[in-house]
């Protein structure tokens, strides 16, 4: 269950003695000074430095005082009364982001010189920065605001007129740029060049007039543009999708994963009360580094679609679908299903369902004595960065749980044919639409029993005899296994609309209506039962998965986590 | 935009001076092209990008960073007036006004960044402020094309301009 990337023993790393604010620490060789300070509990403020990007050292915010051991006549470091090297302090400040620690190095993160430097850099940065914080979308998560509180002056000495630059620049389909707010840290320029491999942004003009821009006539439009909004330390780059929708300090943050493809990028869902407003990438160096694609990030608005199914529906004698109570819906579905033998029933599930839901699907099929069960495969174009060709988030989970056989979708044709020829009389369709498999509304309407679980109406729910409204990915807990075989967790961020229910509960209650009590009361019970049945999940529980997931099966798809040229070079470097 | 075959041969040769990274050839190429065309048009910048296998933004950054690269055509003769300390104290702002008046150039009040130089209506002269021309003892100084003039007064400015009038009497429409 250990991560395959760590199974080979790493080469021994040399540890270096470094003094940070008077205390000696040990750091592995190759540690950036700024990272060493963080590890020593001394956070150094920074704008341009980002651990996943190259270090241009242009913002000057991370200036610190640095020194090296004083060398004696014998070219050996002189030691003081404490037996530690005596440090010769460099009289000028140094940037901590572009230098690695060295043996005997001394660092002062909070000396009068370092404090004065920060204050000076803050004053320069604020000279031309508009003070439009009350209407700025970055307010509340703005580094400039935060560091102003910690290191800024309480008043401005600047009497001259501020430089004016382009505002409301339509940089691309998803990004708006305010050049007056830009502090020229170049994180976005480096991200799009180094990670997105789309060298689209740059600075034109010079000095006080330096302006971030895309080339005239070129749109900033790759599938990773919104990451620049995340890493922009100020409100220069904002997301067209999110801006002005909600002040960030009202957002509740829920750790989850993206369910738009098999990569399963780790995310933070930002929600307030019943509404999800955004999702942003969460760092996981075994999955997505610190990034996610725009397609996955924005693929959540359907959760708030006004057509959401919010109550169970039953087909009436007049052929209309009418809302009913859950108990009635389960009883009717069970009654209809009991009319048929196992071989007359098919179950079509979805690899967008969680492991827990797929496990319950398996139990449902067992209860129905039905062996014709499959999952609908879903593919798209992959890229070399994060987007997987497998657009189902839990294909590996479906395979591990043995739903749909070795090759997902291989029995779909048989199911479709069975429905057409009348061999199959009852279908349980979970989170999919049978019309996409070539069964038109007319054929579906003739089925005497069609139980459909879905969150949005589709041709199948419209033709169903019983409709069971389920929950979207942000409305439930559960686990999924990504294409690399990593078991990860979804978390509950917002409630399901109306009477819609958690999918695993719907399946549990349906099984209960068919076969009586099954002793599953909480999702933890489902996971426990599942881990008893599936050897790869043995010993695990939802809480043991943790926020970063665990490796449970060998990877189905080898996908490199995006690395900067620097990271690649560091990884290849012998220590 | 057409690049003469001979210029392109020179350019190709210059690129070979930078075996480690063709990107380093951006500056020399822009100099050669500005010498030929008088300015760096958008097409010229894009041509350089294609030539050096760069994104156009990479070239645009360089063109806009250095003030001596012009993004628009100058006049037939280009005047540079020094405005660094010694010349500024020695009357370079007055010299700028005199030259503009004599050469019939209407310099916008906020000329400077973005529109560093101004072309006269007849297209004969264009003018801009530059930083130190390295002759602080003879301030104020200016250059017309590649010729250098020291201790320039209103009178000598008129004489200088007349010289270029004679040299190229035709008026560009």
- Same-domain status, A87 and A191: no
Number of domains comprising chain A: 3
Quote the pLDDT of residue A404.
77
Q: Which residue, A357, A363, A362, is CA-closest to A523?
A: A357
- Residue A295 clears pLDDT 80, i.e. is over it: yes
User: Residue A300 falls within a domain, yes or no?
Assistant: no
User: What is the least distance, in Å, from the CA of B62 to any CA of chain A?
Assistant: 8
Please tell me if residue A218 touches chain B, with a CB cutoff of 8 Å: yes
Q: What is the mean pLDDT of chain A?
A: 93
What pLDDT is attached to residue A558?
A: 58
Give the percent of chain A with pLDDT over 90: 86
Residues A168 and A236 in one domain: yes
Q: Which two tokens stand for residue B53?
A: 């296998």
The CATH number assigned to the domain holding A355 equals 3.40.50.740
Q: Among all residues of chain B, which has the CA nearest to that of A199? A: B55
A565 in contact with chain B, both atoms CB, cutoff 8 A: no
CB atoms within 10 A of CB A517: 8
Q: Is the pLDDT assigned to residue A208 strictly greater than 90?
A: no
- Of A45, A51, A4, A11, nearest to A29 (Cα)? A11
Domain shared by A106 and A143, yes or no: no
A203 and B61 within 8 Å at the Cβ level: the answer is yes
Lowest model confidence (mean pLDDT) among A8-22, A493-507, B50-64: A8-22
Same domain, A381 and A521: yes
A498 in any annotated domain: yes
- In this prediction, residue A326 carries a pLDDT of 98
> What value does the mean pLDDT take over residues A338-346?
96
Chain A nearest C-alpha distance from B66 (Å): 8
| Partner residue facing B57 (CB), from A199, A207, A209 | A199
- Mean pLDDT for A263-286 is 97
Distance (Å) from the C-alpha of residue B117 to the closest C-alpha of chain A?
Answer: 15
Q: Do B64 and A206 touch (CB under 8 A)?
A: yes
Measure CB to CB from residue A205 to each of B55, B58, B113 and give the nearest one: B113
Shortest Cα–Cα distance, B52 to chain A (Å): 14
The answer to whether position A82 is within a domain reads yes
pLDDT in tens, A157-204: 999 899 999 999 999 999 999 999 999 999 999 999 999 999 999 999
| pLDDT average, residue stretch A285-309 | 97
Mind telling me how many Å the CA of A205 is from chain B's nearest CA? 5
Q: Where is B98: in which H helix or E strand?
A: helix B92-102
Which token pair is A495?
């409630």
Which residues in chain A are contacts of B114 at CB distance < 8 A? 205, 209
pLDDT for residue A462 is more than 90? yes
Judging contacts by C-beta atoms under 8 Å, the chain B residues touching residue A212 are none
Contact A102, A19 (CB under 8 A): no
Inter-chain CB proximity A202 and B114 less than 8 Å: no
What is the pLDDT at residue B114? 61
Look at A152-166, A330-344, A360-374, A440-454 and tell me which has the smallest mean pLDDT: A152-166
Give the percent of chain A with pLDDT over 70: 95
Q: Is the pLDDT at A10 greater than 90, yes or no?
A: no
User: Residues A358, A502: one domain?
Assistant: yes
| B20 interfaces chain A, CB cutoff of 8 Å | no
Instruction: Give the distance from residue A177's alpha carbon to the nearest chain B alpha carbon, in angstroms.
Output: 17
Residues 55-74 of chain B whose Cβ lies under 8 A from any Cβ of chain A: 55-58, 60-61, 64-67
**Exposure of A75 by Cβ count < 10 A (0-12 exposed, 13-18 middle, 19+ buried)?**
exposed
All residues of chain B having their beta carbon less than 8 Å from the beta carbon of residue A209 are: 113-114
**Residues of chain B contacting A214 with CB distance shorter than 8 Å:** 57
Which residue in B has a C-alpha nearest to residue A203's C-alpha? B61
pLDDT for the residue numbered B172: 45
Determine contact: A206 vs chain B, CB below 8 A: yes
Please tell me which residue, A67 or A568, carries the higher pLDDT value: A67
Q: Which of A244, A269, A301 is the last residue of a domain?
A: A244
Q: Which domain holds residue A484?
A: 313-570
Residue A130, in any domain of the structure: no
Q: Is A94 in the same domain as A37? A: yes
- Partnered with residue A372 across adjacent β-strands are A346
Domain coordinates of chain B in residue numbers?
5-65, 77-167
Q: Count Cβ atoms below 10 Å from residue A363 Cβ, excluding itself.
A: 21
Last residue of a domain, one of A244, A260, A293: A244
Q: Convert the pLDDT of each residue in A533-570 to its tens digit.
A: 999 999 999 999 999 999 998 765 555 666 655 556 55
Q: What is the mean pLDDT of residues A328-336?
A: 97
Q: Do A209 and B113 touch (CB under 8 A)?
A: yes
Mean pLDDT to the nearest integer, B48-54: 96
- Report CA-CA distances (Å) from A276 to A108, A300, A352, A472, A495: 43, 8, 19, 11, 10
A495 plus A406 within the same structural domain: yes
Q: Do A218 and B61 touch (CB under 8 A)?
A: no
Q: Is residue A72 in a domain?
A: yes
Length of chain A: 575
The residue in chain B having the minimum alpha-carbon distance to the alpha carbon of residue A211 is B61
Are both A425 and A458 inside the same structural domain?
Answer: yes
- Indicate whether A446 and A558 sit together in one domain: yes
- Inter-CA distances, A559 with A286, A385, A524, A563, B3, Å: 10, 8, 31, 12, 45
Regarding whether A379 and A237 lie in a shared domain, the answer is no
Q: Residue A57's domain is classified under what CATH number?
A: 3.10.20.740
Chain A CA closest to residue B116:
A205
> Same structural domain for residues A397 and A337?
yes
Topology at the third CATH level for domain B77-167: Glutaredoxin (3.40.30)
Q: How far apart are the first and last CA of chain A?
A: 28
Asked whether the predicted pLDDT for residue B170 surpasses 70, the reply is no
In a domain, residue A384? The reply is yes
Identify the H or E element spanning B156: helix B154-167
Q: Is the pLDDT of residue B112 over 70?
A: no
- What CATH number corresponds to the domain at position A207? 3.30.70.20
Least Cα separation, residue B170 to chain A (angstroms): 35
A575 has pLDDT over 80: no
Q: Is A247 helix (H, G, I), strand (E, B) or coil?
A: coil
A438 dihedral zone (left: phi>0; alpha: psi -120 to 50; beta): left
The yes-or-no verdict on residue A574 having pLDDT over 50 is: no
Same domain, A116 and A167: no
Chain B residue with CA closest to A214: the answer is B57
Query: If you average pLDDT over residues B67-86, what whole number do you get?
Result: 93
d(CA B18, CA B23): 8
Q: What is the pTM of this model?
A: 0.90
Lowest mean pLDDT among A261-275, B84-98, B112-126: B112-126
pLDDT at A56 over 50: yes
In sequence order, the 6+-apart residues with CB closer than 8 A to the CB of A458 are A433, A435
The highest-level CATH class for domain B5-65 is: mainly alpha
At A559 the pLDDT is: 58
Model confidence over A214-272: pLDDT tens digits?
998 889 999 999 999 999 999 999 999 999 999 999 999 999 999 999 999 999 999 99
- Residue A3, pLDDT score: 46
DSSP H helical ranges for A55-111:
none
């Amino acid at each position: 269950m250990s991560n395959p990337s760590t199974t080979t023993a790493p080469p021994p790393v040399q540890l270096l003695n470094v003094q940070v604010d008077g205390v000696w620490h040990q750091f592995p060789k190759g540690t950036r000074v700024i990272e060493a300070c963080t590890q020593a509990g001394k956070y150094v403020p920074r704008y341009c430095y980002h651990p996943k990007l190259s270090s241009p050292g242009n913002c000057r915010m991370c200036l610190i005082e640095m020194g090296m051991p004083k060398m004696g006549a014998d070219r050996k470091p002189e030691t003081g009364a404490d037996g530690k090297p005596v440090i010769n302090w460099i009289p000028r400040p140094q940037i901590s982001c572009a230098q690695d620690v060295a043996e005997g190095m001394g660092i002062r993160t909070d000396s009068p010189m370092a404090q004065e430097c920060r204050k000076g850099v803050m004053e320069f940065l604020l000279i031309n920065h508009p003070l439009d914080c009350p209407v700025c979308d970055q307010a509340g998560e703005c580094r400039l605001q935060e560091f102003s509180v910690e290191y800024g002056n309480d008043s401005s000495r600047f009497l001259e007129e501020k430089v004016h630059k382009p505002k409301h620049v339509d940089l691309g389909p998803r990004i708006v740029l305010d050049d007056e707010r830009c502090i020229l840290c170049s994180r976005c320029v480096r991200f799009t060049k180094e990670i997105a491999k789309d060298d689209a942004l740059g600075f034109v003009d010079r000095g006080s007039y330096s302006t971030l821009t895309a080339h005239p006539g070129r749109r900033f439009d790759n599938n990773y543009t919104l990451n620049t909004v995340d890493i922009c330390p100020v409100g220069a780059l904002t997301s067209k999708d999110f801006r002005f929708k909600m002040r960030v300090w009202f957002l509740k943050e829920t750790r989850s994963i993206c369910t738009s493809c098999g990569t399963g990028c780790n995310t933070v869902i930002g929600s307030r009360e019943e509404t999800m407003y955004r999702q942003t990438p969460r760092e996981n160096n075994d999955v997505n580094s610190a990034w996610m694609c725009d397609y996955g990030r924005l693929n959540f608005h359907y959760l708030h679609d006004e057509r959401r199914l919010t109550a169970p529906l039953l087909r009436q004698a007049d052929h209309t679908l009418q809302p009913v109570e859950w108990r009635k819906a389960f009883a009717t579905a069970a009654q209809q299903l009991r009319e048929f033998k196992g071989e007359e029933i098919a179950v079509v599930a979805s690899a967008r369902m969680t492991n827990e839901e797929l496990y319950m699907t398996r139990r449902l099929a067992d209860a129905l004595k039905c062996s014709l069960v499959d999952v609908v495969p879903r593919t798209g174009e992959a890229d070399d960065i994060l987007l997987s060709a497998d657009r189902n988030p839990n294909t590996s989970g479906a395979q591990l749980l043995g739903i749909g056989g070795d090759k997902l979708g291989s029995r779909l044709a048989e199911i479709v044919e069975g429905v057409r020829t009348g061999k199959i009389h009852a279908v349980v369709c979970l989170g999919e639409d049978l019309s996409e498999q070539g069964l038109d509304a007319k054929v579906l309407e003739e089925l005497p029993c069609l139980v459909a679980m879905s969150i949005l109406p589709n041709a199948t729910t419209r033709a169903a005899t019983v409709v069971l409204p389920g929950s979207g990915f942000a409305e439930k807990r559960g686990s999924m296994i990504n294409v690399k075989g990593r078991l990860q967790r979804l978390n509950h961020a917002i409630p399901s609309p109306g009477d819609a229910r958690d999918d695993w509960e719907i399946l549990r209650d349906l099984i209960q209506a068919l076969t009586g009590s099954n002793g599953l009361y909480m999702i933890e019970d489902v996971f426990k039962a599942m881990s008893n049945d599936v050897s790869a999940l043995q010993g695990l529980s939802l809480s043991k998965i943790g926020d970063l997931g665990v490796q449970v099966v060998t990877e189905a798809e080898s996908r490199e986590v995006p690395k900067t040229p620097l990271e690649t070079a560091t990884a290849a470097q012998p220590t | 935009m057409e690049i003469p075959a001979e210029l392109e041969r020179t350019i190709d040769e210059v690129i070979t001076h930078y075996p480690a990274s063709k990107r380093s050839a951006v500056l020399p190429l822009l100099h050669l092209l500005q010498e030929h065309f008088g300015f760096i048009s958008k097409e010229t910048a894009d041509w350089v990008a294609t030539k050096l296998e760069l994104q156009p933004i990479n070239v645009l950054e360089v063109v806009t960073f250095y003030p001596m690269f012009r993004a628009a055509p100058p006049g037939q003769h280009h005047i540079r007036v020094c405005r660094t300390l010694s010349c500024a104290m020695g009357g370079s702002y007055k010299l700028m006004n005199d030259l503009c008046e004599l050469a019939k150039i209407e310099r916008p009040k906020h000329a400077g960044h973005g529109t560093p130089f101004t072309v006269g209506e007849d297209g004969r002269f264009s003018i801009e402020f530059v930083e130190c021309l390295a002759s602080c003892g003879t301030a104020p100084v200016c250059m017309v094309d590649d010729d250098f003039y020291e201790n320039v007064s209103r009178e000598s400015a008129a004489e200088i301009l007349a010289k270029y009038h004679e040299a190229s009497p035709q008026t560009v429409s």
